Amino acid sequence: MTFEVTILGSSSATPIYGRHPSSQIINHHDHIHMIDCGEGTQQQLQRFGIRANKIRHIFISHLHGDHFFGLIGLLSSMHLVGRKEELHLYGPAPLKEILDLQLYHSQTTLRYDLFFHPTQHESPAVIFEDQLLRVSTFPLSHRIPCTGFRFDEKPRQPKVDMEKVKALEIPPVYYPLIKQGKGYRTADGDFYPSAELTIPSPAPRSYAYCSDTIYTPAYVTAIWNVNLLYHEATFLDEMRDRAEETYHTTALQAGLMAFETQAKELLIGHFSARYKQLEPLLEEASSVFEATQLAKEGATFKVKYAV
């Protein structure tokens, strides 16, 4: 089952050096979701061959412009190209007022249904759930209200061990019951529990997105043991005072957070405009958490099963 993250933007504050403000695409089993929508996101979607009209849900972490200034343009373009499918938008409550004002003064009535779901930043909450995936928010510590997002796969039923059930001549009509945990008794009275007739599915995978935040243990529990952690790493650690002043994290601190939460892999992004070359940030995070990669734009990262 597909579970991957494509980076559209990884710059903090401003576009620079060919980098764009924050935005990511989550593809889970061909269901397409977006996290944050900084300036230029539309162009990035086109550049990397991602169809905007396939996006079902958009999650906005907070109301600093580098995380949502591309949103009204994207929503308007979806309208202009004739989108009909409903779209769900999750973000801070004031975002609705901002969008309503822009649509009102442009005299735009969207051709599709846009459902707005306000998030709250005081405590964790589940904001979306279907048969395959659960999305929850958790508070981050930034200058303004800000939430992280965690995407958790739901456990899947085990697979029927076809070799065993065929050897026992179990009729296919019983397969769904066996997958649900029910055993099977043969005509001779022999009983086979479900565990002997199935192959366990892999453990569910998880992805956590930590946008702008100061380094703090407050959200450790919320991102515990994720398969893939995205964490902002705006500055090198020599700029720690500046990071604390602006409520951001250093690359070293991002690595420490991945280590402390027992993440399997780490992506770092939200790079300051002061860094044209990003390798020093990667080296710093990797010094404390080896399984670290740069969130380079256009790159797609698989959320891998735990080994």
- Beta-bridge mates of residue 35: 24, 59
Active-site entry in 36, 66, 152, 212 = 66
Q: Which pair of tokens denotes residue 218?
A: 């407050």
- What are the distances in angstroms from CA 242 to CA 196, 234, 250? 58, 10, 9
Tell me if residue 66 is catalytic. Answer: yes
Tell me if 91 sits within 8 A of 68, measured CB to CB: yes
Q: Rounded to whole angstroms, how far apart are CA atoms 79 and 81? A: 6
Backbone angles phi, psi at 142, to 5 degrees: -130, 180
Rg of the chain's alpha carbons, rounded to an integer? 22
Q: Rounded to whole angstroms, how far apart are CA atoms 165 and 185? A: 12
The shares of helix, strand and coil residues in the chain, as percent rounded to the nearest 5, are: 30, 30, 40
**Among candidate residues 68, 74, 35, 23, the one with its CA nearest the CA of residue 51:** 74
Give the chain's length: 307
Burial class, 4, CB count within 10 angstroms (exposed 0-12 / middle 13-18 / buried 19+): middle
Q: Rounded to whole angstroms, how far apart are CA atoms 40 and 19? A: 10
Q: Rounded to whole angstroms, how far apart are CA atoms 118 and 38? A: 19
Any idea which residues carry the catalytic annotation?
66
